[in-house]
Structure 1
Amino acid sequence: MRILIVEDDSRLLTQLDALMQQNGYSVDLADDGQKALFLFKEYPYDLAIIDIGLPVMDGLALIKEVRRNKIVSPILILTARDRWQEKVEGLEAGADDYLTKPFHNEELLARVKALIRRAAGQPNPTIELGPICLDTLTEEVRIAGAPVDLTAYEYKVLEYMLMNPSKIISKTELTEHIYDQDFDLDSNVIEVFIGRLRKKLDPDGSIKPIETLRGRGYRINRQL
């Protein structure tokens, strides 16, 4: 999953970047609202974390502009503990949730995961499709109850596909959601990940969990 973090405090921005990457997210960074708006228009994000007090364009103005541009990525706003008005203003501007500073990393991660699941129509932290069971909290995958050992990027690909079970997903879209913005979009690495997932999820070829639609992309087999 790909996240945009917008924060002008360089120390906090660095901490949030490290926290999110350590927990398997691809992260883009912006330290002012104008830069963030550019990134919003250029790249798809599964979620954005936005501080209210930003230079150039403040967080509230940024959120309003993002929504005006029909960008529907979930937004979690960060605000100072003593500015409760900002919470109300942020939600009315189009944010989906808020967190006050200082905050515990565990709460931030829990809210991020919940917002991403909710946006994908998956309120339950465990996603089940046929014999496939993926736990978004523990990042464990099981097939018919048996654990499957996936690499970090194999897990990211499977999680994104299960979050979008009816969607045909192109290689470019998968790349954009699991890698940072400077990754080579022409790479064939997605084909490699898909091939590995098929072998690990379906070693005997009996369930065929991932469909290939020639010239269009991939889709989770809804007939599982």
Structure 2
Amino acid sequence: MSKSSNKTISKRNTALLLIAILLPILIVLSSCSSNDSGETESAPQAPSASTTRITLPKSRYTELPAPSVTTTRTTLPDDFSFSITWGIYGESSYDSRSGELVKTKNATTPSDYITKLILTENQKLTIYKLLTEDIDLSLYPAYYDPFNAPNTDIFIASDPSQTIRLSFTANGHTRSVGCVNIAVAGMEECYEKKGEDLLKVALSISELLMDTEEWKTLPEYEFFYD
């Protein structure tokens, strides 16, 4: 074989060797280039939440308006006046027309136990309500004993006794009742509720009068009953 033929074979072998070396490198580079140019996978997205609107059925019941409250205010009549007598033998008294307040008649000098008391409008209104709302004096006889029913076989009495008189005028009408020389006893001894109501009203009025400064400035009782 000639020298030129050997050189040709040597060059061919060198070329094949280079191809064998470079081909894997080209394949790797081609693969990387393909991955870089491709689209990247996006992360999975959570499914979008859906909102369902529910319409509740209308109530079958119709709302009623709140009931109106009507309040009546008690008005004191222009001609209102009253008088009361109470205590042992009826020795304490008051008359709103004259304003005379008597603590007791049983004294060496009775005039020392008399004073003048002018009630306020609120005090008179309180007493007017007691005489017209807590009791009805038109239902009582002129003389009344709350402890002893008519024609009773059992008679309740005490010594000393007490006397209660109540009278008032309003709107041109006058009502009065007298409990003269009745027993000094508790309200539970009354034979009917009407008698108990009368004693409660008389007690409330007398307590209002005795709670005034005019009453408190009068001297202490001179004599006492056993």
Fold match (TM-score > 0.5): no
* TM-score normalised over the length of structure 2: 0.21
Higher strand share: 1
**Rg larger for:** 2
Q: Which has the higher contact order (CA 8 A, sep 6+)?
A: 2
